[in-house]
Structure 1
């Protein structure tokens, strides 16, 4: 492991005002809900909470995989809460959301990887908030075509699955994941008519040529929406930051991605896969 580096000036911004954070947190707590904003230590948490937005983290706050970049807990997961879909829908209604992002921990301990819970939550949101857009940011579901079909049948407007990094770094960062398995999931979703989206973290030791090759792989597998953000190590026990990518390079990569064929790209040091997701979806639909 390399020594952790000090942050550059462009990553030392003040946290955005929390605004209605108390209301958001109260709605989440009332339903025993979790957000990826909190569990993954997202740097945009204050800004999003201040807009009354949050990304729901389904299936509890513990993951069955051992990715070395992620802050989500690795303890034994709790049983699935059958009331979670209804609680998420009620919280989204209380927050007045028009676009909801659902993400999930990887649950390799469940026969369906958690697909039924994701689908039930999408359906509950549609019932509670007619016309709401729902983005599902899912795990690879162990590569199961049937479980992916379960999620897609519930009608998310975006099917999001993150590759996270370049294939060379998977053994170090995502030892239980498979690059091609993730690409195949995105291809199946695109073949089923879904708008697909993926995200990459930068600063892990990847090269620009490797990133461009991943862009091409994503496009070849039907993915049309992309997010690029700076990796920030959650602690000194996690994989260290290898480099801090300058904002100009993020801008250059965005232009390269658009030129290659992506219809919507968010690229910047603070971008995360669910950051301003509704706006990115609207950009994509306008370009379709």
Structure 2
């Protein structure tokens, strides 16, 4: 349902972004087009696209650009997908090599029309990048595969460096905000991933400003730590169109800073928290920080 004009909140100054479309930005855009690849940066209308592309970083979105779900917060197109390109992993690897990436992030639309949810394409992409760039870290941001443990195992067997799956919001709001995805099923996926390979760090994300309370965010943190999730990102929800979920409030940067402290107290190795933070924002730095924290845990320093 289209949101009424009176429901719109004025955007605060801390959400103003500087647009920069330099040579790197244009080069990344042209390369994506030439290799017929999609990026979540564009499809999800990420506010950090100008910064990230100017810094030659991007998050590849595999399995097409049409999602089988219609989450109320997401700008990605919804419908019946027609695309399944078995050569896509190789093109993703070529693009990552051309960009000279040291940390590559791969996500996808939800493909509930496929028996494995697209897990084989995720695994193929990990392997293709490793063959071309053995020193490039590969992070995957996966859907829940409708709870299919075999699909998750396909991805885990390919040994990504980071396994990311977003719970998106607190438990009370999950059914309202997400489509088909279930809060407890997301936690179960993260738990299973750790059981399959305890050495692979797991990561999740929560967006704020959709009606959650502070206490509910703390509970969501506790729920994630209960399944040994290692990295957490917290960011402000931004309504992509008037037809999407309305913003309930803009969270002040001071509250994001406080939540970061709470997350670190709970044992997350790294917490990225701020109004413009998204799951893949500064992903390379997030992983470096988490690895340093893990090293301190092991050495007691």
Q: TM-score range by the shorter chain?
A: over 0.9
User: What's 1:113 paired with?
Assistant: 117
1:222 is aligned to 2:228: yes
CA distance in 1, matches of 2:33, 2:21: 20
Is there any run of 5+ residues in structure 2 with no aligned partner, and where? Answer: 295-301
1:98 is aligned to 2:102: yes
Q: TM-score, normalised by structure 1?
A: 0.98
1:79-228 equivalences under 5 Å are 79-191=83-195, 192-193=197-198, 194-228=200-234
Would the aligned equivalents of 2:175 and 2:182 in 1 still touch at CA under 8 Å?
no
Is there any run of 5+ residues in structure 1 with no aligned partner, and where? Answer: none
Would the aligned equivalents of 1:18 and 1:47 in 2 still touch at CA under 8 Å?
no
User: What's 1:71 paired with?
Assistant: 75
The CA deviation string for residues 6-40 of structure 1, in whole angstroms up to 9 with x for no partner, is: 10111123224544011111221121100000000
The CA deviation string for residues 73-96 of structure 1, in whole angstroms up to 9 with x for no partner, is: 002212311111010000111111
CA distance in 2, matches of 1:120, 1:19: 31
User: What's 1:234 paired with?
Assistant: 240
CA distance in 2, matches of 1:44, 1:265: 18
User: What's 2:252 paired with?
Assistant: 246
User: What's 1:262 paired with?
Assistant: 268
User: What's 1:4 paired with?
Assistant: 8
SS in 2 for 1:242: coil
Aligned alpha-carbon RMSD (Å):
1.1
* Number of positions where the alignment pairs a residue of Structure 1 with one of Structure 2: 288
CA distance in 1, matches of 2:36, 2:78: 19
CA distance in 2, matches of 1:173, 1:25: 30
- After the TM superposition, which parts of structure 1 deviate over 3 Å for at least 4 consecutive aligned residues? 16-19
Q: TM-score, normalised by structure 2?
A: 0.94
SS in 1 for 2:232: strand
1:279 is aligned to 2:285: yes
The CA deviation string for residues 55-84 of structure 1, in whole angstroms up to 9 with x for no partner, is: 000101111011100000002212311111
CA distance in 2, matches of 1:120, 1:254: 35
The CA deviation string for residues 236-288 of structure 1, in whole angstroms up to 9 with x for no partner, is: 00001000000000000000000111110100000000001011011111111
Q: Give the C-alpha shift of residue 171 in structure 1.
A: 2.1
CA distance in 1, matches of 2:290, 2:256: 19
CA distance in 1, matches of 2:254, 2:120: 42
The CA deviation string for residues 97-151 of structure 1, in whole angstroms up to 9 with x for no partner, is: 1110000111000000000000000100001111110000000011111111100
CA distance in 1, matches of 2:20, 2:223: 36
CA distance in 2, matches of 1:86, 1:26: 18
SS in 2 for 1:20: helix
